[in-house]
Amino acid sequence: MDKKVNIGVIGLGRLGSLYANYCANRLPMANLVAVSDVREEVAREQADQFGADRWYKDYEDLLKDDEVDAILVVTPTSLHRDVVIHAANAGKAIFCEKPLSLSIDECVEIKDVVAATGAFFQMGVMRRFDSAYTTAKEKIEAGVIGKLVQYKATSRDRERPALEYLRPEHSGGLFVDMGIHDFDIARFLMGDVKSVYSIGDVLAYPEMKEIGDVDNAIVSMVFEDGTLGAVDLSRNGIYGYDIHAEILGTEGTLQLGYIRETPIQVMKENQISHDTVPGFYERFEKAYIDQLANFVENVLHDREPSITVEDGLEALKIALAATQSLHENRPVELSEI
Amino acid sequence: MDKKVNIGVIGLGRLGSLYANYCANRLPMANLVAVSDVREEVAREQADQFGADRWYKDYEDLLKDDEVDAILVVTPTSLHRDVVIHAANAGKAIFCEKPLSLSIDECVEIKDVVAATGAFFQMGVMRRFDSAYTTAKEKIEAGVIGKLVQYKATSRDRERPALEYLRPEHSGGLFVDMGIHDFDIARFLMGDVKSVYSIGDVLAYPEMKEIGDVDNAIVSMVFEDGTLGAVDLSRNGIYGYDIHAEILGTEGTLQLGYIRETPIQVMKENQISHDTVPGFYERFEKAYIDQLANFVENVLHDREPSITVEDGLEALKIALAATQSLHENRPVELSEI
Amino acid sequence: MDKKVNIGVIGLGRLGSLYANYCANRLPMANLVAVSDVREEVAREQADQFGADRWYKDYEDLLKDDEVDAILVVTPTSLHRDVVIHAANAGKAIFCEKPLSLSIDECVEIKDVVAATGAFFQMGVMRRFDSAYTTAKEKIEAGVIGKLVQYKATSRDRERPALEYLRPEHSGGLFVDMGIHDFDIARFLMGDVKSVYSIGDVLAYPEMKEIGDVDNAIVSMVFEDGTLGAVDLSRNGIYGYDIHAEILGTEGTLQLGYIRETPIQVMKENQISHDTVPGFYERFEKAYIDQLANFVENVLHDREPSITVEDGLEALKIALAATQSLHENRPVELSEI
Amino acid sequence: MDKKVNIGVIGLGRLGSLYANYCANRLPMANLVAVSDVREEVAREQADQFGADRWYKDYEDLLKDDEVDAILVVTPTSLHRDVVIHAANAGKAIFCEKPLSLSIDECVEIKDVVAATGAFFQMGVMRRFDSAYTTAKEKIEAGVIGKLVQYKATSRDRERPALEYLRPEHSGGLFVDMGIHDFDIARFLMGDVKSVYSIGDVLAYPEMKEIGDVDNAIVSMVFEDGTLGAVDLSRNGIYGYDIHAEILGTEGTLQLGYIRETPIQVMKENQISHDTVPGFYERFEKAYIDQLANFVENVLHDREPSITVEDGLEALKIALAATQSLHENRPVELSEI
């Protein structure tokens, strides 16, 4: 066969390392050629582990590497703007992990640079490649459940991530860090959002108060077409990593997601039980790979990005409106953001 | 064996007729002795069908019947105040179907008369006797899921009831007619509510606009202790009568309810399917009977009512606050009601 | 309405007592008028408890009672023949709990007497009134799964009943005591059986060896029309009372039964669990009542019995063939029995 | 990083092609270096498609290729003996797809050559790498369900494969072609089998009579330790590819397998439904890959084979005993085979 896409991965945290692995071992049309991380030894080790020829401490050096066709931006969110703008100017195809940024201004700046440079830019939100959501989209478009009426989504971490990770100045807070997936799927399946109202509090992990974020929240949403939505978020899904959703229409409803991990049910004295999905990696492994494969295919065949910079911007708007609603205890229109 | 409780049923609509049947055939400690309905022939027929000795057109005559120990009030809601106050003054033990009234003022009046007369008064909200909710309460009190964090509840009719029935001046509107069950269970399992915010619209049945009510709604709730809640209501649960709930705590979650009716799964070409619960009667038959049995036992043994007039008042407050929130598009404090 | 059927219950063990209760409190068309039990005080107490006017120590006295229209035979199996023949000669309508007898000769004798006297006789096998099986029969007859191919059934007690109860000379052994339900349903849904082959052993309760019966067994069956069947039986369904079945056809399959008791799912750290059906009473309460209601209706309206003495005989033949196969380790033709 | 294992794939039918793909794209420690198939153009195309340097028409040429460390034997079963013996003599590490052979004599011959040459030989039976079965084994060994009592397994093709494929002279017949997986898992989880009894017939596809095989069968099994088993097989699992099993012990039971494919449930008027697993590839993709990864790791690190030639021989014995039992309508001891 012909040409493959040469990939450079920027940022080798938990997710960046997974992506490097997928590029090396799971994507037939991709070559992992370079990695970068500010932690020099991590960059070197992972280059070695995944068979990348080159590693860099400074992502700017990676962007100067002519062998690199396309980059995956998996840095802390605060660096997205800089990396993406550099990469767009360097003519690299760009895959940027969600959230696009923590600031609307930065999103707009990125959008403008992408437009000006004509760079290929695709957002990373893996759920859009999971069969629960892709099949739901097909069924909705085929009219299986009639006219849409309600969107409901639940996201629960199994346990509180590290406080350092959760600080709103880094993560964007619960609505940006966690809710953005549900907001993106809301737009994917239902359409644009008109207004939101949020409630939330520190209910499970008192130490969250120190960092100024809540650990549980519920967001009501009204879509532009008048349909209704509710997204509930929790850091204490202690029983497992629970991601599910429902789309109610006038002719039926679709329930999406699952919680069982292993196909084995244990039946003991007066009790039936089974295990649960432990985390995002186990639940969405295939979707993570499929979204990278989709990015690679799009780059290879000069197709449009499957998820655009505007999608990244719009999802952030919902998350920020939800955050503002919580602080002001009133419904917030998206147009205010 | 000893004394039984002699029951009179006031109001012989769909539910009143069921209650008459249960008193006659399913409650060993009850005698159905009298029924009343403004439709004379209905009263006569049902007295005959269920073996009641006497029937009345006018409920006041039934209340004068010395053989009657206790009454079930299953009239249209607009008559609850009159019937209950008469009955309290007549010294009858009273079981009153939800909602207590459509007006807070009437509720307070009823409450005062019940207090003044010392009448035995028990609210009818059958879900509190369903094993989903009673078992959940036990598990919550036993600490199975730790400290409570979120309450989620869904109620869906299979299809829109008759418009005449739905008119807000009769039914109280979606939040009073349908949501009151979920609001009552919210208090039963979680505690008192501090504030609510509602969204809702006519999304499935355009003719609802004529009567001035919505067919879909979502209510966010903050409880007095800071925990969170969301109740979603729909008139178009076309796939079945779907009543479920979830209580999330810091150490686990409880999922309540079921949708399958018959214990048979049909597996055909590339599809697994099963039927669904068609309506409230099939889903809650046992709870309906158990709540009447509980009323009879309480009367027989001079026990306190299991569900008080205050419970009826408080559930109505939440429903009215939710209604007001929808109209004013702002969070409403229960203290405003 | 008009006449009710006056019922006498003969035998007041666990099941007889349930039946007396149902006749008194759950069957609008039945009057419980008399009970009998060799344990005089039991007969008296239950007559009192369930409001029967008369009680007898000797069932023959009950059969002489002119007020009694119909009897329920719930004695130990060894007495079925005597009671049924007396009752048939006394002109009573007869409901006889399964198994009809432990001996083919007795079954034939009963059959002949029933024929000669023209007595109304209906077998008691409650599963035929459970919605799992009645719905399956409807779907099979409607052609939902095409031509039938395989029958699979599982019956498991939660734990070993008392050894005294299990002695084969009383219970008939595992295939007669427990399997007869699955064999009866096999005939109900599939048709007559041609041959069986059994394996079985004492695997869970070593003390079963003392009484000469096995605690686990699997029976292969070939039906007259060539379709296949497998029934597995166990005394150690420690996780719950598990009764399920499957009918595979050329166009699909039907799975029957359920194991969850309460509509509540408990989700704790890395584990989802729910409770289970504890025993036959909880699983089949409605079917028990419905089969008695059906008997009463049949008697009242001079209808044919829903389950005949021949049905009782044929189910026993399968159970005895299965027993013989186990002893001789060879397939046994029903025609040999 | 160190050495990889250079793989040659012999036989490029449906499964061989999958294996070539996995070696090329999914196994980090393997290189696909050569393929062979009697259909020259298939060999060439797949070598090209999966990036193998060399392709051969004649497998003997592949075996002479010094670059090839290890081979996967995915030819028609009738060639297994020749290929394996050649490969053993050529010093290649061997992975041989099930069944080992259709003849006990050939199995013994293979076993002897493997022993004499000291060749590394591993059977291919992917279910042993599926999490349902591996987790079951762990739980059994941890004593979760106590002492084992019954093994039950069901295998159903969604529809009849091509008649040409099914001819017993090629496939070995239903028990060898399909049942061998359930027999292998029986040994994996329970232990050795003592005797079997089979029933079976042509019930769904009359044309099966022409080729002399049945399309439905049930096999009763007694294990050496007295525990019981039942395996049912069908070519007409029209609703989906249904592979499940259960292990009953004295302290609980384990239910293995699943039938839902996509994590989406469709709820339409009075009916809940979901899709099903369409075939072996979708159900066992991960297990197929994991078994090859395991083979590669074993070869790389000089470990013992995870599944031995004896395992292949013993599973075949059970399948042949089941076949003989069907023909002779009697229980057959494994010692007869």
Cβ-Cβ contacts under 8 Å between A and C: the total is: 55
pLDDT at position D2, please?
Answer: 54
**C144-171: burial string, b at 16+ Cβ within 10 Å, e else:** bbbebbbbbbbbbbbeeeeeeebebeeb
| Nearest partner of D276 among C255, B238, C146, judged by Cα | C255
What is the token pair recorded at C156?
């498991």
C267–B253 C-beta distance less than 8 A: yes
Residue of D221, D234, D330 lying closest to C150 (CB–CB): D234
Residue of C152, C201, C222 lying closest to D232 (CB–CB): C152
Q: Does position C241 have pLDDT exceeding 70, yes or no?
A: yes
Q: Nearest-CA residue of chain D relative to B241?
A: D270
D238–C250 C-beta distance less than 8 A: yes
**Chain C neighbors of A272, CB-CB under 8 A:** 239-240, 259-260, 273-276
D201–C227 C-beta distance less than 8 A: yes
User: What mean pLDDT is reported for chain A?
Assistant: 97
Instruction: Report the percent of chain A where pLDDT is more than 90.
Output: 99
- For residues B247-262, give the mean pLDDT: 97
Residue of D24, D135, D263 lying closest to A262 (CB–CB): D135
Chains that touch B (3 or more CB pairs under 8 A): A, C, D
Q: Using an 8 Å Cβ cutoff, are D186 and D151 in contact?
A: yes
The residue whose two tokens read 């090629």 is: D170
pLDDT in tens, C284-337: 999 999 999 999 999 999 999 999 999 999 999 999 999 999 999 999 999 999
Q: Could you list the pLDDT tens digit for every one of the 337 residues in chain D?
A: 358 999 999 999 999 999 999 999 999 999 999 999 999 999 999 999 999 999 999 999 999 999 999 999 999 999 999 999 999 999 999 999 999 999 999 999 999 999 999 999 999 999 999 999 999 999 999 999 999 999 999 999 999 999 999 999 999 999 999 999 999 999 999 999 999 999 999 999 999 999 999 999 999 999 999 999 999 999 999 999 999 999 999 999 999 999 999 999 999 998 999 999 999 999 999 999 999 999 999 999 999 999 999 999 999 999 999 999 999 999 999 999 9
Q: Does position A101 have pLDDT exceeding 80, yes or no?
A: yes
| Nearest partner of A100 among A84, A112, A114, judged by Cα | A84
Give the closest-approach CA distance of D318 to chain A in angstroms. 26
Q: Does position C206 have pLDDT exceeding 80, yes or no?
A: yes
Residue of A251, A263, A267 lying closest to D258 (CB–CB): A263
Cis omega (within 30 of 0) on the bond before C99?
yes
Residue of C49, C131, C267 lying closest to B252 (CB–CB): C267
Give the closest-approach CA distance of B103 to chain A in angstroms. 27
Residue of B199, B229, B250 lying closest to A222 (CB–CB): B199
The residue whose two tokens read 């040999």 is: C336
User: What mean pLDDT is reported for chain C?
Assistant: 97
Categorize the per-residue pLDDT at C3 as very low, low, confident or very high, splitting at 50, 70 and 90. Answer: confident
User: How many residues does this entry show for chain D?
Assistant: 337
Q: Does position B293 have pLDDT exceeding 80, yes or no?
A: yes
Best of C241, C261, C266, C270 to mutate (most B CBs within 10 Å, chain B): C266
Q: Using an 8 Å Cβ cutoff, are C130 and C281 in contact?
A: no
Q: Does position C2 have pLDDT exceeding 60, yes or no?
A: no
What DSSP character marks residue D126?
Answer: G
Q: Using an 8 Å Cβ cutoff, are D100 and D313 in contact?
A: yes
pLDDT at position D250, please?
Answer: 97
Q: Does position C228 have pLDDT exceeding 90, yes or no?
A: yes
Q: Does position C47 have pLDDT exceeding 80, yes or no?
A: yes
pLDDT at position D198, please?
Answer: 98
Q: Does position A81 have pLDDT exceeding 80, yes or no?
A: yes
pLDDT at position A67, please?
Answer: 96
Question: In the Cβ-directed half-sphere of D195, how many Cα atoms lie within 13 Å?
Answer: 13
pLDDT at position C35, please?
Answer: 98
The D30-36 sheet, strands edge to edge:
D54-56, D30-36, D5-10, D70-73, D93-97, D121-124
A220–B236 C-beta distance less than 8 A: no
- For residues C252-271, give the mean pLDDT: 96
- For residues B73-92, give the mean pLDDT: 98
- Contacting B with CB below 8 Å, chain D residues are 238-240, 259-260, 267-276, 278
D24–A264 C-beta distance less than 8 A: no
pLDDT at position D1, please?
Answer: 37
B229–A218 C-beta distance less than 8 A: yes
A264–D132 C-beta distance less than 8 A: yes
Q: Nearest-CA residue of chain B relative to A248?
A: B237
Residue C308's identity, in one-letter code, is: T
pTM for this structure? 0.95
Q: CA triplet B223, B229, B231: central angle to 5 degrees? A: 130
Residue D176 CA: distances (Å) to CA of B53, C333, D15, D78, D200:
74, 28, 17, 13, 14
Best of D44, D46, D266 to mutate (most A CBs within 10 Å, chain A): D266
Instruction: Report the percent of chain A where pLDDT is more than 70.
Output: 99
**Chain C neighbors of A274, CB-CB under 8 A:** 271-273
Best of D147, D150, D215 to mutate (most C CBs within 10 Å, chain C): D150
Best of B236, B244, B272 to mutate (most A CBs within 10 Å, chain A): B236
**Chain D neighbors of C226, CB-CB under 8 A:** 201, 203
Q: Nearest-CA residue of chain D relative to A266?
A: D254
Q: Using an 8 Å Cβ cutoff, are A186 and A193 in contact?
A: yes
pLDDT at position B1, please?
Answer: 37
**D210-232: burial string, b at 16+ Cβ within 10 Å, e else:** ebebbbbbbbbbbbeeebbbbbb
What is the token pair recorded at A202?
């520190």
Q: Does position A2 have pLDDT exceeding 80, yes or no?
A: no
E-strand spans in B179-335? 193-201, 216-223, 228-234, 242-249, 252-256, 264-268, 271-274, 332-333
Residue of B152, B226, B237 lying closest to A203 (CB–CB): B226
Q: Nearest-CA residue of chain D relative to A1?
A: D49
D251–A269 C-beta distance less than 8 A: yes
pLDDT at position B3, please?
Answer: 84
| Nearest partner of C17 among C46, C38, C44, C54, judged by Cα | C46
pLDDT at position C4, please?
Answer: 94
Helices and strands (H, E) in chain D, number of each type: 13, 15
Element (H, E) at C156: strand C148-156
What DSSP character marks residue D56?
Answer: E
- Contacting A with CB below 8 Å, chain D residues are 1, 24-26, 28, 48-49, 51, 130-132, 135-136, 139, 144-145, 251-258, 262-269
Residue of C267, C270, C276 lying closest to A270 (CB–CB): C276
A276–C240 C-beta distance less than 8 A: no
- Contacting C with CB below 8 Å, chain B residues are 1, 24-26, 28, 49, 130-132, 135-136, 139, 144-145, 251-258, 262-269
Measure the CA–CA gap between D34 and C186, rounded to whole angstroms. 55
Q: Does position C1 have pLDDT exceeding 70, yes or no?
A: no
User: How many residues does this entry show for chain B?
Assistant: 337
Residue of A28, A130, A269 lying closest to D25 (CB–CB): A28
Give the closest-approach CA distance of B232 to chain A in angstroms. 9
Q: Using an 8 Å Cβ cutoff, are D293 and D301 in contact?
A: no
Contacts of A285 (CB under 8 A, 6+ apart): none
- For residues A192-198, give the mean pLDDT: 98
